[in-house]
Structures are given as structure tokens and as C-alpha cells.
């Protein structure tokens, strides 16, 4: 079922999750336990992140060697596992950076055969190396280009123009939104226009970047509506679990913390930080739902401990 269909048919507030594949060569056991923990709460869908190849260095007898590899492969396989063994709709993330349009089309065909109906179209982080693109291959420079490619396949338009009676795909397309502005956008209004362009290209819903001040979300939603963005906007949330995140999250994701949250965590003992994070997220969820938000999306990634405690408290 598509994400927008889950939203349309919901009779209660929805909570979805996002998880990350194991490292290359990693064991699947921990991830299976995570999926089973999340399944208890009947999620409408689970997002699986995707990761392009990155550069790493290794010391050898002949000197330092450069290696290009994907540290977390497995998005497609995990989607198949979750969708068909655990019967939870999955949303694989598709990236512009690190993948050609031809590779993207191949993945979309695989997803179609697997019966997976949703994708999240994301530009992805800038690569730390220049990936060579073979002759006769092309790229999607921006997320709007990726959305457009997926939408064209939904109408039966593939990259090869001479296919005999190509069957259209039927993907629900999600995109990211940024209540505190994308780091590379020159200003908030321009960022909103970028988002609107992705919706006009075929995106059906938005999941926001994490935020810790609900006023940011409500203002973002208001501004989106004011320029004609009418698709559902799902707030993305993260439960804080360590003091270190006070510095890493703003640096990596370009989001701010409310001063009272920052001060409370800074003054707390390390072992008390997870409980503060859970309580803060609980208040966020309750306010969002009380204001009519139909769903929230939690960036769980690798551990269900905090989200389990939170959802048991919410008793939805």
C-alpha cells in the first residue's frame, strides 16, 4: 500500500520508522530484532536508508591505498525481507549522488517486481570523490530530477525509447522537507520553492528533517500551504540519547536545539539524558497529534530501546 493510502485510510494517528542497513559484512540478527521490536507497534511503513560509495584509506606495505566502496549495502534486500516476511510496507531511499539514472531505473524495476510501491527520492550527501560516469550513462543532478525520472516511469516512459509496450510503474514518491531550511539553500523561501518544484514533478508526500521545536514545523507547514504545496507533510522526529548529540546533530543535520532542551541535557548526568530525550519527544508527539497532524516519522536507525519506551508511554 502507498504511504498516501495509509494516511487516507488511517483511523488513528500513525507512527512510522526509519532504519539503517548493517555495515558491510555485518550480522543481520540485530536488525531482525529491531524490526520485530518495531512491528509490535503496527507501523504503517518503514523507511530503509540508502548509502552511496565513499572513499576510505588503508595502509599497505606499498603505502596508503584509496578504496571506494559502499559501507552499508543491502537496502533492496532489506525492503524485500520486511515487506514479504514481516508484512510491513517499506520505503527504500533512492539517491541522486553516487548512482546513474540507468542504475536507478534498474533498481526501480527490481522494486516493481518485488511489489514495493513506495520510494523516497533524495539528492544525498555530496561525495568525497568524483565518480566517473561511463559513456552513454547519465545522472540526476538534483532531487527534482530523480522525482521526475520516477514519475515518468509511472507513465511508462523508460530511458530507452524503443521498448516494446513498456509497463508503467506505480510508485508513491516521497521527498524530504526542511523546517529549518536546507543547509545549501540561500534562503528559506528558495528552499520552499525547491520543495514545490519536487511536488509539481510528482512527489506525493513530504517527510521533514528532524526538528526539536514544534513551532518550526507548524511555521514550515503554514509556509508550504501558502505557496500551494498541498501534499501531506509528515514531521520527522529524533529521540536524543547522549550529550554528544548536542554537537553532532547541529553539525551534521543543520538543526538547532531549543535553549531549554539544551540546558537541561547539559546539566544532566549522562545516564539521565535518554529519559530527557524520551520525555521531550513525548511532548512533541502529543502536541503534534493534538494539533491535527495525522502521522509522525521517527529516525530510529539502529536501536529500538528509546522508541519502545516512548510508545509504551504514549499508549496510542
* pLDDT given for residue 141 in this prediction: 95
Nearest-10 crossing angle of helices 188-201, 143-154: 20
Query: Residue 11's pLDDT is what?
Result: 95
Three-state SS string over the chain comes to: CCHHHHHHHCCCCEEEEEECCCCCCCCCHHHHHHHHHHHCCCCCEEEECCCCCEEEEEEECCEEEEEEECCCCCHHHHHHHHHHHCCCEEEEEEECCCCEHHHHHHHHHHHHHHCCCEEEEECCCCCCCCCCCCCCCCECCCHHHHHHHHHHHHCCCCCCCCCCCCCCCCCEEEEEECCCCCCCCCCHHHHHHHHHHHHHHCCCEEEEEECCCHHHHHHHHHHHHHCCCCCCEEEEECCCCCCCHHHHHHHHHCCCCCHHHHHHHHHCCHHHHHHHHHHHHHHHHHHHHHCCCCEEEEEEECCCHHHHHHHHHHCC
Rounded to whole angstroms, how far apart are CA atoms 12 and 169?
A: 30
Alpha-carbon span 229 to 107, nearest angstrom: 29
pLDDT the model gives residue 136: 81
Q: Which three cell numbers stand for residue 148?
A: 521526475
Sketch the domain layout of the chain as residue ranges. Answer: 3-314
Tell me what pLDDT residue 202 has: 98
- Contact (CB, 8 A) for 127 and 52: yes
Which residues of the chain register pLDDT less than 70? Answer: 55-64, 67, 128-131, 316
| Structure-block grid coordinates of residue 220 | 514550515
Longest Cα–Cα distance in the chain: 66
* pLDDT tens digit sequence for 187-209: 999 999 999 999 999 999 999 99
Q: Which residue has the cell 509497463?
A: 167
CATH, range 3-314: 3.20.20.220
User: For the stretch 169-201, what's the b/e string if a residue is b when 16 or more beta carbons lie within 10 angstroms of its beta carbon?
Assistant: bebbbbbbbbbbbbeeeeebeebbebbbebbeb
Please, are residues 206 and 177 in contact by the beta-carbon 8 Å criterion?
yes
Q: Which residue has the cell 536524543?
A: 240
pTM score of the predicted model: 0.95
Q: Which positions ≥6 away from 9 have C-beta within 8 Å?
A: none
Instruction: Report pLDDT for 306.
Output: 95
Amino acid at each position: 500500500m502507498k504511504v498516501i493510502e495509509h494516511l487516507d485510510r488511517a483511523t488513528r494517528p500513525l507512527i512510522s520508522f526509519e532504519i539503517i542497513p548493517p555495515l558491510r559484512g555485518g550480522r543481520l540478527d540485530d536488525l531482525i530484532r529491531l524490526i520485530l521490536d518495531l512491528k509490535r507497534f503496527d507501523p504503517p511503513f518503514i523507511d530503509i536508508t540508502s548509502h552511496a560509495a565513499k572513499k576510505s584509506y588503508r595502509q599497505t606495505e606499498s603505502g596508503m591505498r584509496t578504496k571506494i566502496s559502499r559501507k552499508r549495502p543491502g537496502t533492496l534486500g532489506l525492503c524485500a525481507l520486511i515487506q514479504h516476511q514481516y508484512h510491513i510496507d517499506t520505503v527504500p531511499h533512492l539517491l541522486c549522488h553516487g548512482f546513474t539514472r540507468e542504475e536507478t531505473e534498474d533498481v526501480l524495476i527490481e522494486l516493481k517486481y518485488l511489489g514495493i510501491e513506495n520510494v523516497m527520492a533524495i539528492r544525498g550527501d555530496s561525495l568525497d570523490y568524483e565518480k566517473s560516469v561511463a559513456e552513454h550513462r547519465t545522472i540526476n543532478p538534483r532531487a527534482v530530477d530523480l522525482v521526475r525520472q520516477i514519475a515518468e516511469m509511472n507513465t511508462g516512459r523508460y530511458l530507452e525509447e524503443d521498448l516494446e509496450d513498456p509497463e508503467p510503474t506505480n510508485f508513491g514518491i516521497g521527498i524530504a522537507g526542511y523546517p529549518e531550511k536546507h543547509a545549501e539553500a540561500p534562503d528559506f523561501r528558495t528552499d520552499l520553492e525547491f520543495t514545490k518544484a519536487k511536488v509539481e514533478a510528482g512527489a506525493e508526500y513530504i517527510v521533514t528533517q528532524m526538528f526539536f521545536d514544534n513551532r518550526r514545523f507548524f511555521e514550515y507547514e503554514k509556509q508550504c500551504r501558502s505557496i500551494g504545496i498541498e501534499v501531506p507533510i509528515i514531521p520527522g522526529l529524533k529521540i536524543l540519547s547522549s550529550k554528544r548529540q548536542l554537537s553532532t546533530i547541529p553539525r551534521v543535520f543543520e538543526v538547532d536545539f531549543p535553549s531549554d532542551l539544551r540546558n537541561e541535557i547539559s546539566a544532566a548526568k549522562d545516564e539521565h539524558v535518554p529519559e530527557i530525550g524520551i520525555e521531550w519527544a513525548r511532548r512533541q508527539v502529543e502536541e503534534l497529534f493534538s494539533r491535527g497532524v495525522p502521522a509522525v516519522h521517527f529516525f530510529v536507525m539502529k536501536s529500538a530501546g528509546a522508541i519502545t519506551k516512548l510508545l509504551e508511554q504514549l499508549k496510542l
